[in-house]
Structure 1
Amino acid sequence: MEKLLRCRTIAFLLGITMFYTGCSEEEEDENPTINNNADAAIQTALNNGTSLEEILDSNSKTKLYGKTYEGGYIAYINESNRLVLICAAVDIADQVAFSDGGNFSLSASTSSNAGQGQSNTDKIIGELGSTGNVAALCNSFSTGGFSDWFLPSKTELGYFRSNVFKKELGNFPGGQTNAKYYWHSTIISCPEATQFVTGTQTCVSSANVRAARYSFY
């Protein structure tokens, strides 16, 4: 009984930065009501302007995944360099080719790592141009007061899938059973896309586009 009462305590001061669940992550996972209340408290704190740094002082970064923030959903946080990866709230294109020019070879190397999507996007635009390709489409995208979007790297797109889509968030067409392929900016032998239901990586002729942006705290 003492454990249950302790775990049911959800205390937070909105707009001031304090919120406390009073139980471990394992105990929260055993009780959906506690988990939902804690999630709501964190989202409310973000909405009220509480900084990520203050929230992370008393919560693991995974508690912020899927929360709405700065034009989209938090998909990943790197606490070493304080980078926040944000997944746009909606697709910006449906079933489009990677480039209007068809098949192409990219001379510049692109990275699969998190934190490299912007660099990859710049390289693709440098070779394919500022229009007519999905990197340029992301680069010109603007929503929620932000215009610094890019085509995510392979790993970043994976975070979209695991930390937003798998939580049934993000307005992904097709949902958990019929979700689409999505382009990423990591090009090896050909432009690849990730199938969001299975996680399969493959070269395809068309796919959807979901943009990313970075924030720092």
Structure 2
Amino acid sequence: MKKQLLSSALLAITLFLTACSGDDSSPINDGGPDTYPNTSFEIGDTGPGGGIVFYLAADGHGYEVANTLGLAKWEDVDNLYDAIDISGLGTAIGTGAANTELIVNAIGNGNYAAKICADYEHGGKSDWFLPSKDELIAVYNHFRSHWDLNIEVNNHWSSSQGSNNTKSWNTDFSVNSATTPFNNWTFEIQKDQTLYVVPIRKF
């Protein structure tokens, strides 16, 4: 009888220790600011920050876009040729957040496109940014095919600087890219022009 009780006790201890040790070998998807399984969201869904999911990357990350916030200049300068030449600004998908940080650090306070996006808070999220050239094109492509975004059908700023310090890239949401040459709907324009601003975020 004592041997049976001892065996039962040892078995219970073994089971307890096994349960407590757990198995941490299962992969976790790091979705950047948020962590979600790859299958949590689809294009057109409402994202974790309350925007519309417009792009899903191969690495499991996604991007959501909010509403157009209004009109602003890329940089508010009295003389266009005094515009700051900001090095390191990318155009590819995945560069918009870093672009926005570089722009805000270079220009400082003010009511300009990148700062408006950096200050934006929505859906409990405060990591919104001004999209890069290619990120803005991805927003445009979704908008033109789904029509589910609350976006002004007009020109919007990207966070990508153009060929010199006086210009930056923008995209015209009113143009049909299927019938219009690329440089007539995505092109460089002077930074002191007043265009629409739309924030995005990565999750």
Decide: shared fold, TM above 0.5. Answer: yes
Amino acid aligned to 2:118: N
Map of 2:196 onto structure 1: 208
Map of 1:192 onto structure 2: 169
Number of residue pairs aligned between Structure 1 and Structure 2: 150
Q: Secondary structure of the equivalent of 2:116?
A: helix
Map of 1:98 onto structure 2: 74
User: How do 1:136-215 residues align onto structure 2 when only pairs under 5 Å count?
Assistant: 136-173=115-152, 179-188=153-162, 189=164, 190-198=167-175, 199-204=185-190, 205-215=193-203
Shift of 1:123: 0.7
- Give the TM-score, by structure 2 length: 0.68
Q: Secondary structure of the equivalent of 1:114?
A: coil
Alignment gaps of 5+ in structure 2: 1-35, 176-184
**Higher RCO (Cα < 8 Å, 6 or more apart):** 2
Amino acid aligned to 2:95: Q
1:73 aligns with 2:52: yes
Question: Which whole-Å CA distance do the structure 1 matches of 2:101 and 2:70 have between them?
Answer: 19
1:110 aligns with 2:89: yes
Alignment gaps of 5+ in structure 1: 1-50, 57-63, 174-178
Amino acid aligned to 1:185: S
Question: Which whole-Å CA distance do the structure 2 matches of 1:172 and 1:54 have between them?
Answer: 26
CA RMSD in angstroms, aligned pairs only: 1.8
Question: Which whole-Å CA distance do the structure 2 matches of 1:193 and 1:85 have between them?
Answer: 19
User: How do 1:124-143 residues align onto structure 2 when only pairs under 5 Å count?
Assistant: 124-143=103-122
Q: Secondary structure of the equivalent of 2:126?
A: coil
Q: What percent identity do the matched residue pairs reach?
A: 23
Shift of 1:106: 1.8
- Give the TM-score, by structure 1 length: 0.64
Report Cα offsets for 1:49-85 as digits up to 9, x if no partner: xx542457xxxxxxx22221122011111122x2211
Structure number with the higher helix fraction is 1
Report Cα offsets for 1:21-70 as digits up to 9, x if no partner: xxxxxxxxxxxxxxxxxxxxxxxxxxxxxx542457xxxxxxx2222112
